[in-house]
Structure 1
Amino acid sequence: MAHPDTIDQIAERVDHLLLRHEELQRTQALLSQQVQALTLERDQLKSRLSAARARVDALIERLPQATPAATPEASE
């Protein structure tokens, strides 16, 4: 049979591991929340970028077409 000191050491290590496990679970939950928030922010920024691109494209289409510049040879 194991010595009482050995059993106490094992029990202490198990308690430490359980505390560490709980700490890691809390950390993982916080990181998951951060990932979710950042994913939402990224999706919103992508949507805003898409809308801005559409507005820029619409403005570009409204610009008058460039006419070819008169070359000096053609005016002579």
Structure 2
Amino acid sequence: MSSLEDLADRIERLVLRHEELKRTNALLQQQLDGVSTERDSLRSRLAAARARIDALLDRLPPEPLAVPVAPAARNATLDDALPASGQE
């Protein structure tokens, strides 16, 4: 009868392990649901941000054409462009 008792013990341990795994699975499913919800929220926020950026880009004026700058003007500094203090 020892083998019958051993079998009953193994079955009891198996049932306990099964219940433990079910609880673990339920907790993991809750975590997965939470992460999935957060992911969906972040995707939605990202799409909204992209839409706002696209709207802002549409409001920007077109890029101006490049205007050639004379070599002397390239070397000028701000001080050269401003009148000296005390002179008018």
Q: So what's the TM-score if we normalise by structure 1?
A: 0.85
Aligned-pair Cα RMSD in Å:
1.0
In 2, distance between residues paired with 1:7 and 1:30? 35
2:13 corresponds to 1:16: yes
Match of 1:64, as an amino acid? P
Match of 1:11, as an amino acid? A
User: More helix by proportion, 1 or 2?
Assistant: 1
Tell me the percent identity: 51
Q: Which has the larger radius of gyration?
A: 2
Structure 2 partner of 1:59: 56
Residue of structure 1 aligned with 2:47, choices 33, 36, 50 = 50
How many residue pairs end up in the alignment? 69
Structure 2 partner of 1:37: 34
Runs of 4+ in 1 over 3 A off after TM superposition: none
In 2, distance between residues paired with 1:70 and 1:55? 31
User: Any gaps of 5 or more consecutive residues in structure 1?
Assistant: none
Q: So what's the TM-score if we normalise by structure 2?
A: 0.74
